Amino acid sequence: MDAMTSYDSMPDAPGAAETSLPAALTAFIDLDAIAHNVGVVRAAAGTDVIAVVKANGYGHGAVPVARAALAAGAAELGVAHIGEALALREAGIDAHITAWLHTNHAPFDAAIGADIDVALSSRRQLALVADAARRLGRTATVTAKVDTGLNRSGVAADEWADFADDLAKAKADGAVRVRAIMCHLVRGDEPEHPLNSQQAERLDAAAADLVRLGSPAEVMHIANSPAALTRPDLARDLVRPGIALYGCTPIPERGDFGLVPAMTLRAEVALVKNLAAGQGVSYNHHWTSDRDTVIAVVPAGYADGVPRLLSNQMHVQVNGRGFPQVGRVCMDQFVIDLGPDGGGVAEGDVVELFGAGTGGAPIARDWADQIGTIDYEIITGIGARAHRQYVGGAASDDSAEQR
């Protein structure tokens, strides 16, 4: 756990010019936790894993997370946008990558050139990809993404028959290779809900259509994190976990499944000062001290992913002791109340905003519960100003590449 590296210091990372400066806010990413969580999901599902690293690896850093997940046994990678997949290719990652959310102006030519599996949600997308493949003289690798009930992206039920015909024709003339068929679950986090099985049945029927038309999919995947952990009957050939890889439980009422949170967010106390009784703190004085006390300024705010809605609600930990946040959370900073004795806190001390919950420290889900959201939103919202620092086995490999 000693080896550390910073993704911000990689040549293609945003903000690389500033990496020699000390960081006021640091997101420590435990790559050993990522590896552990891959193992947990594989064991629960009983099949191979597509590690979902979209949204910059859920805010953890797509490239280091992808490398750690693949080293731990993940078979493939998944992202939303082609641009995310191309960035992984540019970093030297040659694993199978599927991208599943596109506009009609998406860089399909680049995707085909980089051997990205393009998941298709409409006849229009299929036509664009097939035309690009013919123009390039290449065969595009594609996935049929079927809308089995989520009513979001995916081939609509009333378009499926025509899409399947078009796909068979494109396969027959060598424009596409039909690698997979997939769907997204509506109620994966409600494992017993009958719609989960109904969606699987609909996808099975769609797969049978492709077989009948002579364009069978090589593999099928349905299960997201909650389904991978609780519904092995839905696993099919691969499962597609996202949030579970990062150690956040997708079904909190069922426990943590043995997952380990991978991100710990820490800052440095910027300022300690006395506050007299009756004095307010931060904008509009939404908190006023009822006694003489000591306060500290923490250099993190809503621009960094600390929700303004958490104002006067969250607690942080300093030197193993919990302290309440008081007053409005600002763009760049918030204030904590150290109590009349100052809590033994000094400028430069480390503040843990959230992490693995060690010693009663907050976890990302605590923030989410307090403001009525989900921890997905919390961890993906941690901004670019937070310096990413990597801990764990795979971090040493990244360090070697930088020297």
Residues annotated within a binding site for substrate: 152, 331
Q: In what side-by-side order are the strands of the sheet with 321-326? A: 4-6, 387-391, 25-30, 263-268, 350-354, 315-318, 321-326, 334-339, 293-298, 271-275
CA dihedral 349, 353, 358, 362 (to 10 degrees): 140
Say if residues 80 and 99 touch (Cβ distance below 8 Å): yes
For strand 25-30 and strand 263-268, is the pairing parallel, antiparallel, or unpaired?
A: antiparallel
Residue linked to tokens 């941690």: 382
Residues making up the binding site:
152, 331
Residue partners of 92: CB distance under 8 A and separation at least 6: none
For strand 117-120 and strand 96-99, is the pairing parallel, antiparallel, or unpaired?
A: parallel
Say if residues 170 and 138 touch (Cβ distance below 8 Å): no
Catalytic residues, by residue number, are 54, 283
Q: Residues 284-295, buried b or exposed e (16+ Cβ, 10 A)?
A: eeebebeeebbb
Report the alpha-carbon distance of residue 317 to residue 329 in Å, rounded: 17
Of residues 207, 205, 250, the one with CA closest to residue 231: 250
